[in-house]
Amino acid sequence: MSNGIPFDVTILLVFGTVSFIVIIVFLVSFVGLYQKKQFQYQAEKIALKNSYEREILESQLAVQNSTLQHVSQDLHDNVGQLLMVAGLNLRTLKEKAQKTDLLGQIQQTDEIVRQAIAEIRALTKSLDGEFVNRFGLLESLNYEMERLTKTQQIKADLTVEGESYALSHEHEIVLFRMVQESLSNTMKYAEARHIRVQLAYQPNRLILEVEDDGKGFDLAEVLSRELADSGAGLKNMQRRARLIGGTCDFHPTVGQGTKITITVPRTTGTL
């Protein structure tokens, strides 16, 4: 007996206390282990989802690039050749034409065919990813802006800040296609008169901006649309940016225009 408490009761109290502590430690450990497993499961689930989306997007980009290259080659080999034959026939007719009014019409048609041939050549370069591989992002964008300006539908400017440098071929093609999509959307929907592309070369990152003076849009409303609607285009651009470790932000103002900012790290890595 100790302090009036029987020895066997003391033993029971000690045993009960130790058992309670062991149970508490076990429960805490179990809950902690369960939470850790849940966290690992969620992390693995997210990683698998990101990996799956990445593979899907890479496949889409590869298919798109391959398709555009085929279209470029077909335009050059088929439509371009037909226009060249038409041009040769027109020049033959021009030599044989005697009437002044007929000669003038032939000359006008010949000029239209020449312009069509020049546009086909410019378009085939724009569609072909090898053009970007050969000349780089900056030169390819400069060519694209000049091509747009020559259409006389919109004024297109390219500005550069900082000393230019090259990214990996894969990353530059992704960026070039993103700019092309932005320009295409502007031409289709924005009713803009002026579009500006700016490349800001910083030591650790490249910031690419596409800005127009069109009618703008409601960003929240567009992004909330289903994939089958126009919101898919903006979401795809954001996915492409993430694919190369970057971000794509949209800053539209209804009635004033839209600015798209693409930021990517300076890297030479591949997809």
For the chain, the domains span 136-271
Ranges of the chain with pLDDT below 70: 1-9, 41, 44-86, 88-102, 105, 108, 115, 117-129, 226-232, 268-271
Whole-number Å distance between alpha carbons of 137 and 175: 8
Span between the terminal Cα atoms of the chain, in Å: 77
Whole-number Å distance between alpha carbons of 262 and 178: 9
**pLDDT, position 2:** 47
Whole-number Å distance between alpha carbons of 110 and 88: 9
160 near 138, Cβ under 8 Å? yes
**pLDDT, position 1:** 45
210 near 197, Cβ under 8 Å? yes
**pLDDT, position 192:** 92
Whole-number Å distance between alpha carbons of 122 and 174: 20
Those residues whose C-beta lies under 8 Å from the C-beta of residue 199, and which sit 6 or more positions away, are 137, 138, 141, 158, 159, 160, 161, 164, 206, 207, 208
pTM: 0.60
Those residues whose C-beta lies under 8 Å from the C-beta of residue 90, and which sit 6 or more positions away, are 106, 109, 110, 113
H helices of the chain, in order, are: 7-74, 80-96, 100-127, 129-150, 169-185, 219-223, 231-243
Q: How many CB atoms lie within 10 A of CB 127?
A: 19
244 near 255, Cβ under 8 Å? no
**pLDDT, position 72:** 59
Domain 136-271: CATH architecture, name and number where available: 2-Layer Sandwich (3.30)
Token pair for 76: 């050059």
Rounded-to-10 torsion of CA 59, 62, 68, 70: -100
